[in-house]
Amino acid sequence: MAHFAKIENGIVTNVIVISNDDCGGGNFPESNPIGQAFIASLNIDGIWQQTSYSSSFRNCYASITWTFDASLGEYGEFTPPLPELVE
């Protein structure tokens, strides 16, 4: 199974699962644009980036409220939100 995170203003707002068959076998990075096209073919809007449940690429598995920064790493990375500072 392949996991894709919806990115809005750099923040993950949703994570979905699609079949590896629907994204060219699931092998990243080739699977990323194929999966994006499949998601678009379902009329699901937004910007979607593949994320790895095993954290084998893009630093870690994306979760809602996490950040996606395309300038990090070779293909962009997901990062957790910074903890709130309590005074």
For residue 42, pLDDT over 80 is answered with: yes
Quote the pTM value.
0.91
Question: Looking at residue 84, what is its pLDDT?
Answer: 74
Q: How confident is the model at residue 63 (pLDDT cuts 50, 70, 90)?
A: very high
Pure H helices in the chain: 31-41
Question: Looking at residue 85, what is its pLDDT?
Answer: 66
Q: What mean pLDDT, rounded, does the chain reach?
A: 94
CA–CA separation, 67 and 4 (whole Å): 14
| Mean pLDDT, residues 49-75 | 95
- CA-CA distances (angstroms) from residue 15 to 59, 73, 76, 85, 86? 16, 21, 16, 27, 29
Contact 3/53 with Cβ under 8 angstroms?
A: yes
